[in-house]
Amino acid sequence: MDLTARTWMAGRVRGFGTSIFAEISALAREFNAVNLGQGFPDFDGPEEIRNAVARAIAAGHNQYALSNGEAPLREAIAEHSLRFYGMRIDPLAEITVTSGATEAIFCTGLAFIEPGDEVIIFEPCYDSYVPTIRMAGGIPVPVALHAPDFRFDPAELRAAVTGRTRAIYVNTPHNPSGTIFTDAELETIAAICREHDLLAIADEVYEHIVYPEASHRRLATLPGMWERTLTISSGGKTFSFTGWKIGWAIGPEPLQAALRRVHQFSVFATCTPMQHAIAEALRLPDDYFRTLAADYLARRDFLMEVLRDAGLRPRRPDGSYFIVGDIGDFPFTNGADFIRHLIREIGVAAIPLDTFYLDPAEGKRLVRFCFCKSWETLEAGAERLRKLRG
């Protein structure tokens, strides 16, 4: 038997392929481009929190953590929810610590979605939702966030719900558009969830990267939503430690029971000393959180102006650290070709938005830049982008 010709790959993963992110990163390295594509900071989070990892290791927090998360972290997550949202959460029963928000998202697929269930996502959408739904045998049903404002039409959301709809993924503040759902939009989502008995998976990893034009409200705090919502967040974005992969899911006991079954047989437990350090981070004074948002606001306004001057018609984000631009003024038919040109000729990398859509045609003129970068990186990118218009 010719083993080289044998397909070992299971059918459920065959359709996934590798993402454009890998190609862009490789091309950016080859041409020494300023990378405004990758969505992670090129600077570190607070020094005292880095030192907290060393302290946790020295104090002997080096063996398997409790499967549901170390007690100090779960207590800190509960205190954080009370401080910022007035929510009283039982740290023992209502919080599970995961390996980043990504693991929590993946667990929701196997824990809650039956084969054949329909699951609503807002498009463009974070790239792990669709594979998560599909690996569980579910069917992703997109509802558009319409460019250039990236808002949804309530009638379209209602029309997407059928008798087979099980759940909805709601990401606010939103990657890649930077939209923060308004109270009215959250009310619409909540009303539909209550009416059709849907589960809501609220991905709120950018909860502290919010600008003065908007405010972030947790979906789980709306009437009738706590019982049916799993709120996912992580320490990666708020504390600029994306490599630590400490995330969590907050929600009522029956949802935790299902989630924990998947968590215990996938990763079982999450890196112990990092959990102790993120517990300290969550207890940082209010000023830390205010400064984080203010720093990103200055970077957002800087990159907005640069992209506007470069003719990329940027859409101002209300939250997150991404700006979506439109290549309509340039002679390219799709974002990927434009970005290859941008890397080779201008020396700046960004991400084409079509990878965030089930139907790539929807996002083909849009590109995403991120500003979670040092001022030095942003200024170097700006200087190069000024050459875009010749």
Contacting residues toward ligand PLP, per CB under 6 A: 39, 100-102, 126, 171, 175, 203, 205, 234, 236, 242, 245, 247
Pick from 355, 376, 358: which is nearest to 366 by CA? 355
Tokens representing residue 306 in the block: 């640069």
Smallest gap from residue 126 Cβ to ligand PLP (A): 4
Measured from each CB, the residue nearest to ligand PLP is 100
Q: What's the one-letter identity of residue 202?
A: A
C-beta closer to ligand PLP: residue 240 or 384: 240
Smallest gap from residue 369 Cβ to ligand PLP (A): 14
Q: What's the one-letter identity of residue 45?
A: G
Tokens representing residue 230 in the block: 């799993």
Q: What is the largest CA-CA distance in the chain?
A: 65
List b or e across 259-269, with b for residues whose CB sees 16 or more CB atoms inside 10 angstroms.
bbebbeeebeb
C-beta closer to ligand PLP: residue 123 or 203: 203
The total number of residues shown for the chain amounts to 390
Tokens representing residue 22 in the block: 């890998």
Smallest gap from residue 345 Cβ to ligand PLP (A): 28
Pick from 312, 296, 309: which is nearest to 373 by CA? 296
C-beta closer to ligand PLP: residue 170 or 336: 170
C-beta closer to ligand PLP: residue 108 or 256: 108
SS3 151: strand
C-beta closer to ligand PLP: residue 21 or 288: 21
Smallest gap from residue 329 Cβ to ligand PLP (A): 28
Smallest gap from residue 153 Cβ to ligand PLP (A): 22
| Triad 257, 259, 261: Cα angle to 5° | 75
Smallest gap from residue 40 Cβ to ligand PLP (A): 7
Cβ burial of 313 (10 Å; 0-12, 13-18, 19+) is: middle
- Distance between CA 27 and CA 210 in Å, rounded? 32
C-beta closer to ligand PLP: residue 346 or 372: 372
Pick from 221, 213, 151: which is nearest to 179 by CA? 151
Smallest gap from residue 366 Cβ to ligand PLP (A): 16
Smallest gap from residue 39 Cβ to ligand PLP (A): 5
C-beta closer to ligand PLP: residue 171 or 256: 171
Phi, then psi, of 102 in degrees rounded to 5: -60, -40
**Residue whose tokens read 């430690």:** 241
C-beta closer to ligand PLP: residue 112 or 239: 239
